[in-house]
Amino acid sequence: MLKIKVCGMRDSANIQSVLALEPDFMGFIFFEKSPRNVGEELDAELLKSFPRTTKKVGVFVNAHPDLILKNVKKYNLDIVQLHGDELPDVGKNIRNRGITVIKAFNLDENFNFARLNNYKPHCDYFLFDAKGAAQGGNGITFDWNLLQRYDNEKPFFLSGGLNIESLDAIVALKNKGLNLYGVDINSQFEVSPGIKNVEKVKEFIDKLHVAFKETLA
């Protein structure tokens, strides 16, 4: 079964509503230039009360490791997602402290997958997003055929413009034998930046579960 990550959360009531849907991961963006930046809105006590079944992911873009670690401690984050141009040593530094690391890359037809080799020892997962005007949350999809160039060693999250209509293609991609670990949903499920349409998220989760039960039957 694919894991589900709901990213770009910050509003307490909205967080609680989505949390009730039991996603595997919930993402919080610590990047001032993002319209989904948590700013001062994020309730640390709420995050500390999360069940162990939903992992909390802090998303950072070219942030200083000290700032990353400060927020990991403040919000009791389980995972750090590096979504900028961080060098492998940043992941190494964080992972050596026992923190799970996701390293994100923005893909287009010119992406060189050989770049990943230096990062492999220093992260637990990759995340592949579409290359757009912003670092993430652009609401666009990259050409998934590019993933055929990936050596498939490290499990990865699929991101970039995913919506309910993407479900059949997601199942087909998983069935190609790729090391697809999870899907990351964000902008296509929003009422406004940082606020998710809970019913739409629920529909996606329910349909994804049904789709994979059918493929396993």
Q: What domains are defined for the chain?
A: 3-216 (3.20.20.70)
pLDDT in 10s for each residue of the chain, 217 residues: 899 999 999 999 999 999 999 999 999 999 999 999 999 899 999 999 999 999 999 999 999 999 999 999 999 999 999 999 999 999 999 999 999 999 999 999 999 999 999 999 999 999 999 976 555 555 679 999 999 999 999 999 999 999 999 999 999 999 899 999 999 999 999 999 999 999 999 999 999 999 887 665 4
Looking at residue 126, its pLDDT comes to: 98
CA distance 160 to 131: 9
The pLDDT score that the predictor gives to residue 217 is 44
The predicted model scores a pTM of 0.95
Three-state secondary structure along the chain?
A: CCEEEECCCCCHHHHHHHHCCCCCEEEEEECCCCCCECCCCCCHHHHHCCCCCCEEEEEECCCCHHHHHHHHHHHCCCEEEECCCCCHHHHHHHHCCCCEEEEEEEECCCCCHHHHHHCHHHCCEEEEEECCCCCCCCCCCCCHHHHHHCCCCCCEEECCCCCHHHHHHHHHHHCCCCCEEEEEECHHHEEECCEECHHHHHHHHHHHHHHHHHHHC
What is the model's pLDDT at position 106?
A: 95
Half-sphere exposure (Cβ direction) of 86: Cα atoms closer than 13 Å: 29
Q: What is the pLDDT of residue 214?
A: 66
| pLDDT for position 129 | 95
pLDDT given for residue 96 in this prediction: 96
- According to the model, what pLDDT value does residue 131 have? 78
